[in-house]
Structure 1
Amino acid sequence: MKVDPTRPLIVQSDLSVLLETHHPEFESVRGVLSRFADLIKSPEHLHMYRITPLSLWNATAAGMPIEQMSACLQQHAKFGVPSSVLSGIRKYANRYGILRMEDVGNELYLVSDDTVVLKEIRAHDSLKKYLEDTRGERAIAISPAYRGVLKQELIKLGYPVEDLAAYRSGEFLPIQLRDEETIEEPFQLRDYQKSAVDAFHRIGEGGSGVLVLPCGAGKTVIGIAAMARCNCATLILTSNVTSVKQWKREILSKTGLKEDQVGEYNGTTKDVRPVTIATYQILTHRGNKKDDFAHMRLFSEREWGLIIYDEVHLLPAPVFRATADIQATRRLGLTATLIREDGREEDVFSLVGPKKFDMAWKELESQGWIAKVTCQEVRVHLSEGDRDLYGASGARQQFRIAGENTGKQQVIDHLLRLHVDEPTLIIGQYIDQLEQISSHTGAPMISGSMAYEQREELYDQFKKGQLPLLIVSKVANFAVDLPDAAVAIQVSGSYGSRQEEAQRLGRILRPKSSGANAAVFYSIISEDTKEQDFAMKRQLFLVEQGYEYRITRWSSETKDRKGEQHEI
């Protein structure tokens, strides 16, 4: 092995990789490494990545050659790359495509050029009920009804299936994107948005998969452009009623579809049209645990040609089961992060599709398509009363006490003075805490119990600049379009949810219409508590995207001078 201590990487035989954060090549190496490895830990000097089979399969499916992965490690490793790592990368990355699903005549086959692998598959007792007769040495007939569940079972055995079988066309629906000649405000796809749609809809490559882009990058627009490529009846599943309304507004403004062609399906409206937008909540609603999911019939209400899963990282377990049954329908997943808190990333890969496109957040920032964000964690001591209660409580209650630390109010007041003229969101987990902040600041609070119309009115006032400060619960984590929000103050969160951290940052990522295209994301943390431990996990996603995360400690003597560096 060639030794060069000036290089930034240490590659270990267990497929973990350490990257020096202060190395001059840190940014360029991180950009390539993060495409095929997952960030596990992010201490100040060394970031730790892990190469996994799934990270390699997603990279391969997105078009990254094995040679590029190996070259990244070999060119930048201090002490060389263990041969076991290079062979492991080849072994796992090459497994994507060993097994394929293809149509042959009127039958669906599981196909492989590796006859040994097919024999292994055939011998697994857990797979026998899904397999029919062999078709020569290189194919096994399978029932179309098992197309999804067989892919799930095979990936568990370490064999991701490349699904090249045909998709039904669905009900024909001409969808024309509006252009400069048809609307007053020109609508044109950005170059990266075109690339994302092309990646999803490559000719001859099926047309199902996941596109990963940051909040504010126009995932809704990309979904609409994909609809226009397919020209078919489309079912769109998203996270909440606010998102349903936003999808409908965007579809009507950017296509030639009419109002009566786009329906909403949620708790109050159940209108099935050629394009129907539904919430995950309504699909999984039932009277009690013994009842069936009555609204799952929406999947068969029309001959859908495309199903779009917005915020696919939130896909509920019952919808996974329904998705396994509709593998002949094209599927598009949209998300800012493939991270799932339940660990079901493999099911997203198998049932919705592999990652087909991934756009680096910092690259979009450098091009001005999203705001330039500064991330800062402010650590504050527990108040005296909270400290006594914290010491006498169990672990779960300690986390909540730390989250609701009354000492955070001083920090909030300070930050509001620093950003007095900027549109600001205060985001939190606990309703009692948010109500106290609302009472203290005089700003309105939005929660899940508030009527939709009232929420929309407050959002509209915020957008128009009539309301400079808005306090929001986790209901605003997803699909809330507040483009001018320039400051976010996170006062409490859901344990170590990297997913939530990404979504909350997304509230301020949209490009600003005036002034500097910049925003600030604050996270107020109770020092030396359970909350601080979980905060380190939450930050992983932001660090992975290239954001610097400054940590400061709150002092009551801090001066109200904007931009001042506080003592660390």
Structure 2
Amino acid sequence: MVEIRITLAPTRRLAAVDGPLIVQSDKTLLLEVDHPGAREARKAIAPFAELERSPEHIHTYRLTPLGLWNARAAGHDAEQVIDALLAHSRYAVPHSLLVDIAETMARYGRLRLEKHPVHGLVLASSDRAVLEEVVRSKKIAGMIGARVDDDVLEAEGAVIVHGSERGNLKQALLKLGWPAEDYAGYVDGEAHPIALRPDGWELRPYQAEAAESFWHGGSGVVVLPCGAGKTIVGAAAMAHAQATTLILVTNTVSARQWKDELVRRTSLTEDEIGEYSGTTKEIRPVTIATYQVLTLKRKGVFPHLELLDARDWGLIVYDEVHLLPAPIFRMTADLQARRRIGLTATLVREDGREGDVFSLIGPKRYDAPWKDIEAQGWIAPADCVEVRVTLPSAERMVYAVAEPEERYRLASCTHHKIDVVRTLLAQHVGQPTLVIGQYLDQLHELADSLDAPVISGETPVKERQRLFDAFRSGEISLLVVSKVANFSIDLPSAEVAIQVSGSYGSRQEEAQRLGRLLRPGPPLPDGSRKVAHFYTVVSRDTVDADFAQNRQRFLAEQGYAYRIVDADDLDRSREH
């Protein structure tokens, strides 16, 4: 039986003198940004507190079970968490909150999955009462077998787990509030030599640290800003594994970018890397597959999932892990004996399945704040501007009487936005620019008006690659793109993005679209770096403005502030 007890002497002060942090009983932490101790406090609480919003002066963090369990999985104990709060808090920290932190963190690891020399996979516990509680739950019925009573395990009790249920059991236990620590280990998979080839380059310190943190933990997620080189972290993980690797990506263009990067950065040759997509079906020691082909369903089954599952992979890489579709989660539940690394710029999932990422891919192993990477010069600084337009009277009336499901399209696609885009382009003549939107008719109208090529889901892959290459080389400086350019597209030359419509209130999308601009260019003549310009054109007094505010939340959490300007003011400034 595990007992958690915190005893604090009545005379002990539970706060730093004039600390930068205010710890509240509702589990929110308020950090005063301008306080001289803010940077140290932020670093201390980052492993366990989740940043919710970060406007100019006060940043708000929240303590959640998942955040505390992530910290526990990364090796932080409750004493370290509590000491961090006490050291930096301005006022006394509520005693009840400290107790709750200790008890929540103590839940992680009370159950553990282990390999038994006789019975195979077992669920063991240091607390018999907890084991009794979970084995009686209907949620795990069918996943476990007979009890194990012997002296092989250092445990109060254990039950046999059906080998195929390792992932499903971890999911279920997390939902029951008893996350299991997985000590069952990994198979090595089929060996294959992979080495980094640092010809004129080397791993950045945070990339090396991220890869080491993943490898030490066995499986898990690395969170890095767009443009910070997540592909390189994946390559470093492959060099650690020295084994056949399955890389899952969002689309075919991304798959080919991964292949080009691996050929350039590692000892792998083109013949060792296969593409598994809608048009090409190659399975090689390193295979790059798209989510779309793996989730293709025929007669009630996923034939490509079964085919890829048959290979003895040593490592699975999940690019843009925050976008994993449900069938990939189901496949991952069956791949728990394989090492897994998830790469993402944000663990925010619009479907709320962060817990499934934690239980099936693994806990967060490394996380670098966007502004920290920017301060080190690895990603470009960004100027974020929201340009507000007013719907003309006739369009406003059409909007007012429209059905609710039609209003966002009407507000997003106002013709007034085309004039705004022209004005913004005139302010950034010669700078490589992306005009990004959601609706194809709007994008084609923009492309015709601006005499620019358009890339959408309808554009053949070869044509997409040709246009992206022309943009990278400077042959063309303006592209109109749909959401196909949101993810895993490397356009290091892009300096300006103008967003005219989005996927409703998607915070993921906002982060990814800004990320198209954050690849740092060479230093300017004065030694400074280029500044990325990110514009969002929004129709005021409509749901377009409401969704824009929600999309901006994640970037605000990362420290990016939006300036708001009126479209008419843009026109006047252009005239002057």
TM-score (norm: length of structure 2): 0.90
**2:171 alignment counterpart:** 152
| 2:129 counterpart of 1:116 | yes
Looking at structure 1, the residues matched to 430 and 79 of structure 2 have their Cα atoms a distance apart, in angstroms, of 51
Which of 354, 363, 367 lines up with 1:345 in the alignment? Answer: 354
**Secondary structure in structure 2 of the residue aligned to 1:551:** strand
Looking at structure 2, the residues matched to 69 and 453 of structure 1 have their Cα atoms a distance apart, in angstroms, of 51
Greater shift after overlay, 27-36 or 259-268?
Answer: 27-36
Which of 240, 245, 257 lines up with 2:251 in the alignment? Answer: 240
| 2:155 counterpart of 1:142 | no
Task: Give the superposition deviation at 1:94.
Answer: 2.4
Q: State whether residues 383 and 406 of structure 1, in contact with CA within 8 Å, keep that contact through their aligned partners in structure 2.
A: no
Looking at structure 2, the residues matched to 504 and 149 of structure 1 have their Cα atoms a distance apart, in angstroms, of 34
Looking at structure 2, the residues matched to 44 and 359 of structure 1 have their Cα atoms a distance apart, in angstroms, of 20
**2:29 alignment counterpart:** 17
> Which structure 1 residue ranges, 5 or more long, are not aligned?
181-185
Mapping of residues 72-87 of structure 1, within 5 Å: 72-87=84-99
Q: State whether residues 417 and 560 of structure 1, in contact with CA within 8 Å, keep that contact through their aligned partners in structure 2.
A: no
Looking at structure 2, the residues matched to 429 and 20 of structure 1 have their Cα atoms a distance apart, in angstroms, of 37
| 2:146 counterpart of 1:127 | no
**Secondary structure in structure 2 of the residue aligned to 1:523:** strand
**Secondary structure in structure 1 of the residue aligned to 2:107:** coil
Q: State whether residues 53 and 556 of structure 2, in contact with CA within 8 Å, keep that contact through their aligned partners in structure 1.
A: no
Tell me: CA distance 1:57–1:301, structure 2 relative to 1, closer, same or farther (3 Å).
Answer: same
Mapping of residues 408-447 of structure 1, within 5 Å: 408-447=417-456
Which of 194, 212, 225 lines up with 1:198 in the alignment? Answer: 212
Tell me: CA distance 1:65–1:370, structure 2 relative to 1, closer, same or farther (3 Å).
Answer: farther
**1:178 alignment counterpart:** 197
Q: Which amino acid aligns with 1:414?
A: T
**1:209 alignment counterpart:** 220
**1:470 alignment counterpart:** 479
Q: State whether residues 219 and 339 of structure 2, in contact with CA within 8 Å, keep that contact through their aligned partners in structure 1.
A: yes
| 2:287 counterpart of 1:276 | yes
Looking at structure 2, the residues matched to 369 and 44 of structure 1 have their Cα atoms a distance apart, in angstroms, of 23
Looking at structure 2, the residues matched to 276 and 209 of structure 1 have their Cα atoms a distance apart, in angstroms, of 20
Q: State whether residues 27 and 546 of structure 1, in contact with CA within 8 Å, keep that contact through their aligned partners in structure 2.
A: no
Greater shift after overlay, 127-136 or 356-365?
Answer: 127-136
**2:5 alignment counterpart:** none
Looking at structure 2, the residues matched to 85 and 561 of structure 1 have their Cα atoms a distance apart, in angstroms, of 55
**2:10 alignment counterpart:** none
Q: State whether residues 423 and 574 of structure 2, in contact with CA within 8 Å, keep that contact through their aligned partners in structure 1.
A: no
Q: State whether residues 15 and 87 of structure 2, in contact with CA within 8 Å, keep that contact through their aligned partners in structure 1.
A: no
| 2:180 counterpart of 1:168 | no
Greater shift after overlay, 338-347 or 24-33?
Answer: 24-33
> Which structure 2 residue ranges, 5 or more long, are not aligned?
1-12, 150-155
Looking at structure 2, the residues matched to 385 and 172 of structure 1 have their Cα atoms a distance apart, in angstroms, of 66
1:239-298: per-residue Cα shift (whole Å, max 9, x none)? 0001100111111122222222111000000011111100000011125xx531111123
Tell me: CA distance 1:422–1:533, structure 2 relative to 1, closer, same or farther (3 Å).
Answer: same
| 2:104 counterpart of 1:104 | no
Q: Which amino acid aligns with 1:221?
A: I
**1:259 alignment counterpart:** 270
Greater shift after overlay, 534-543 or 28-37?
Answer: 28-37
Looking at structure 1, the residues matched to 226 and 516 of structure 2 have their Cα atoms a distance apart, in angstroms, of 7
Task: Give the superposition deviation at 1:42.
Answer: 5.7
1:180-221: per-residue Cα shift (whole Å, max 9, x none)? 4xxxxx23211111111111111xx4x111111111111111
| 2:318 counterpart of 1:299 | no
Tell me: CA distance 1:482–1:5, structure 2 relative to 1, closer, same or farther (3 Å).
Answer: same
Tell me: CA distance 1:110–1:420, structure 2 relative to 1, closer, same or farther (3 Å).
Answer: same
Mapping of residues 23-34 of structure 1, within 5 Å: 29-30=41-42, 32-34=44-46
Which of 414, 431, 455 lines up with 2:464 in the alignment? Answer: 455
Q: State whether residues 55 and 557 of structure 2, in contact with CA within 8 Å, keep that contact through their aligned partners in structure 1.
A: no
Looking at structure 1, the residues matched to 121 and 261 of structure 2 have their Cα atoms a distance apart, in angstroms, of 38
Q: Kindly tell me the number of residue pairs found equivalent between the two proteins.
A: 553
Q: State whether residues 221 and 362 of structure 2, in contact with CA within 8 Å, keep that contact through their aligned partners in structure 1.
A: yes
Q: State whether residues 14 and 86 of structure 2, in contact with CA within 8 Å, keep that contact through their aligned partners in structure 1.
A: no
Q: State whether residues 418 and 560 of structure 1, in contact with CA within 8 Å, keep that contact through their aligned partners in structure 2.
A: no
Q: Which amino acid aligns with 2:213?
A: A
**Secondary structure in structure 1 of the residue aligned to 2:343:** strand
Mapping of residues 13-92 of structure 1, within 5 Å: 13-20=25-32, 29-30=41-42, 32-40=44-52, 46-92=58-104
Greater shift after overlay, 140-149 or 496-505?
Answer: 140-149
Mapping of residues 317-328 of structure 1, within 5 Å: 317-328=326-337
Sequence identity percentage: 51
Q: State whether residues 16 and 86 of structure 2, in contact with CA within 8 Å, keep that contact through their aligned partners in structure 1.
A: no
**1:387 alignment counterpart:** 396
Q: State whether residues 383 and 532 of structure 2, in contact with CA within 8 Å, keep that contact through their aligned partners in structure 1.
A: yes
**Secondary structure in structure 1 of the residue aligned to 2:385:** strand
Looking at structure 1, the residues matched to 127 and 67 of structure 2 have their Cα atoms a distance apart, in angstroms, of 23
| 2:555 counterpart of 1:542 | yes
| 2:497 counterpart of 1:488 | yes
**2:231 alignment counterpart:** 220
The two structures, once aligned, show a CA RMSD in angstroms of 2.3
TM-score (norm: length of structure 1): 0.92
**Secondary structure in structure 2 of the residue aligned to 1:426:** strand
